[in-house]
Amino acid sequence: MMGKLGVVIVAAGKGSRMRTAESKQYLPLGGKPILVHTLETWNRLEEVDSIVLVVGENDLSRCQAYIEQYGLVKVRQVIMGGEERQASVHAGLRTFSEDYEWVMVHDGVRPFVRPEQVRACLRQAMESGGAVLAVPVKDTIKVADSDGWIQSTPDRRSLWAIQTPQAFRLSSLKQAYEQAEKEGFLGTDDAMLAERIGLKVRVVEGSYENIKITTPEDLPWAEDLMRRSRERDNR
């Protein structure tokens, strides 16, 4: 029997790359804010004991209203995030008591993650201590210097594009975040901080549909994915 599972949904970003007055997580998708679609997926998962939603200071009240409006009963707290994603995740981790054994961290603007992918990631974390969803890189990748000269071509077979959720034993991820804060280290994802303290993290193959809605070009793609998802559900 697994210990309690907490989930941190990070949605404190301002989304400047979207070039809209509204933050990307609150833009409408299929009649609801993008963030609500994400929260509904996690709210339905029976493995999840509670969710903490981390948002910007000015969005606390509207997100609290979403919880009531959409019946998101597993979202137990809505808290204010920090300037960087790392500070926001750390704030979320601190809300979970010691009776939580596992934690998953997920981007609020990834509404298309599938329950079976979440479960696969969690199962792998429970075996190895840490796991992340990822997809194999399709393109040839080049490493270039600051002047644009190509230095090397990594073997594409070893390259993965990392997604969320990322799953860890809660005590281990808390330790990784505390160490990074103490040393003033800023990482790009949760796994990077875990790797720094010697934790081994496994990749779990996810889906290319688990997109992060970040730029205006992503919105038509998201609408199409939403339409296909509804068609699948109606079969």
Give the pLDDT of residue 217: 87
Q: Which of 7-21, 86-100, 117-131, 187-201 has the lowest mean pLDDT?
A: 7-21
The predicted-structure confidence for 144-203, as pLDDT tens digits, reads as follows 999 999 999 999 999 999 999 999 999 999 999 999 999 999 999 999 999 999 999 999
**β-bridge pairing 143-144 and 150-152:** antiparallel
Split into its structural domains, the chain has a count of 1
Distance CA 30, CA 36 (A): 11
DSSP code at position 62: H
Distance CA 127, CA 131 (A): 9
Question: Is the pLDDT score of 229 beyond 60?
Answer: yes
Q: Which of 33-37, 42-46, 215-219 has the lowest mean pLDDT?
A: 215-219
Domain that holds residue 65: 4-234
Point out which residues pair with 166 in neighbouring strands. Answer: 105, 132
Distance CA 52, CA 45 (A): 15
The predicted-structure confidence for 11-23, as pLDDT tens digits, reads as follows 997 755 555 667 8
Cis peptide before 165 (omega within 30 of 0): yes
Give the pLDDT of residue 193: 98
Per-residue burial over 32-66, b if 16 or more Cβ lie within 10 Å, else e, is: bbbbbbbbebbbebebbbbbbbbbbeebeeebeeb
What is the chain's Cα-based Rg?
18
CA distances to 64, 69, 88, 142, 189 from 106, in Å:
19, 22, 12, 28, 10
Q: Which of 7-16, 39-48, 77-86, 122-131 has the lowest mean pLDDT?
A: 7-16
CATH number of the domain bearing residue 79: 3.90.550.10
Percent of the residues in the chain that have a pLDDT greater than 70, as a whole number? 96
Distance CA 21, CA 151 (A): 40
